[in-house]
Amino acid sequence: MHPKVNAEIIAIGDEILFGQITNTNAQYISAQLDKIGVHTIQQTAISDSAEAIQEGLTNALQRADIVLITGGLGPTKDDLTKYTLAQYFNSKLEINEEALAHITHLMVSRGREMNELNRLQALQPTKAKYIKNEVGTAPAMWFNAPDGKVVIAMPGVPFEMKHILEHQILPQIKTMFNTESVIHYYIKTIGIAESALAIKIEDWENSLPQHIKLAYLPSFGQVKMRLTTTNSDQELAKQELKNRAEEILPIISKYVYHTGSDIDFEAIIAELLQQNNLTLAVAESCTGGALSALFTNMAGSSAYFKGGIVAYLRSIKENVLGVPSETITQYGIVSEETAAAMAIGAAKVLDADIAISTTGVAGPSAYDNKPVGTVCIGISFKGEVFTQTFQLMNMRETNIRLACVMALNKLRLILNEKGIGLK
């Protein structure tokens, strides 16, 4: 039996407590720890003050084996983490020559002058192990605490933290702690509410053994179910979760777009397109580029994504997409007829097998005599056209995201009906 290894993550920064930035680092670190079988038991955000750092660290070390700290390692006066940790561990600070050489090299290669604040970033607690920041000037540091516990401080800039965590911290944690794996199995659904889903599978949920935990995670039109267990035999555990999941698939199959891994919906659509050699284009009005961005955020999207037209104005719908002026006049900007013409136009102009269009009222104000949240979707599939109208929420950002999801789900259902699926 492997020991259970627990971690806590402490983010330091008034900008988090003032609500000026979201603590995305905590999410990223937890996800990475989860993969190597380390359980995050608490995430905490505290102030840039020596007292808060000391108290937070003391409390975390009482509960967790590993404490990961982010933030407060920058060059400016409000950055107190390094000095507070040195005091906490009763350590001197000295210029670390390796750090100094690296910082100097970075500054020179970026064509910048080395300044006194950069030099001070090489000042390191002598009791900490120096951890090189390949992509930035603030080094990370690793302290060994009593009882075999460890405290790791990393810079708060997300891409620097990610690079250090992946290349230096995680390998050392894996070596030092011998962990039991946490195994997750996902059933990813779309188009059904959490409570309706829970009722459909109630008997099954009640029949799950104690060591399997089920969670429902709703987000933007989707509910993902997560089955979790721990086991030193990962393959065995995964098979057990898979078998359990398969018991309910027949009941909810039309809502399920993926089982097993926690892959994003748009990645499934991308895979569906690639496997079937289908190309995609989009014509976006109310989603304004967000649908394109869903695809282009994924590496390799040029294999199936031909491009998009953000047709925000009526004139663009007419002149670039070729939507007939009469269609808009007769049915309105936000109508299934206009959506259909936009999709047909996009498929033609961008020369794609499939085109998706969106036109709607994202908010905050009603428009074209339609209430906020009205969204029309058009899909052109090799010349055949499908449309649907959705009544979504009353918040702009939510509507934009929901409209993207609804449009992709419509495409998924059309392809399903045609027998086009994943191999």
x/- contact string, 73-102, with a copy of itself (CB under 8 A)? -xxxxx------------------------
- Cβ at position 88, least distance to a copy of itself in Å: 18
Contact 140, 152 (CB under 8 A): yes
Give the separation between CA 292 and CA 283, rounded to whole angstroms. Answer: 9
From 58, 297, 325, 329, residue interacting with a copy of itself (rule: CB under 8 A):
297
With contacts defined by CB under 8 A, name the span among 155-163, 237-245, 334-342, 407-415 that binds a copy of itself: 155-163
CA 344 to chain centre: 32
Q: Tokens for 150?
A: 């460890």
Give the separation between CA 227 and CA 203, rounded to whole angstroms. Answer: 16
Cβ closest to a copy of itself, residue 145 vs residue 316: 316
x/- contact string, 301-340, with a copy of itself (CB under 8 A)? xx--xxxxxxxxx-xx--xx--------------------
- Cβ at position 162, least distance to a copy of itself in Å: 8
368 burial level (CB within 10 Å; 0-12, 13-18, 19+) = middle
Which residue is associated with the tokens 């005599």?
Answer: 369
From 127, 149, 181, 205, residue interacting with a copy of itself (rule: CB under 8 A):
205
Cβ closest to a copy of itself, residue 107 vs residue 413: 107
Residue 351: which region, alpha, beta or left (left: phi > 0; alpha: psi -120 to 50)?
Answer: left
Does 221 engage in binding with a copy of itself (CB under 8 A)?
Answer: no
Which residue is associated with the tokens 């120096």?
Answer: 130
Give the separation between CA 363 and CA 377, rounded to whole angstroms. Answer: 17
Give the separation between CA 311 and CA 321, rounded to whole angstroms. Answer: 8
Give the separation between CA 356 and CA 306, rounded to whole angstroms. Answer: 12
Which residue is associated with the tokens 């790791």?
Answer: 152
Site for a copy of itself in 10-39 (CB under 8 A): 14-24, 26-34, 39
SS3 of residue 129 by DSSP: strand
- Cβ at position 74, least distance to a copy of itself in Å: 6
- Residues binding a copy of itself: what is the number (CB under 8 A)? 107
Site for a copy of itself in 177-196 (CB under 8 A): 182, 184, 193-196
Cβ closest to a copy of itself, residue 116 vs residue 384: 116
- Cβ at position 423, least distance to a copy of itself in Å: 25
From 47, 91, 259, 276, residue interacting with a copy of itself (rule: CB under 8 A):
47
Does 267 engage in binding with a copy of itself (CB under 8 A)?
Answer: no
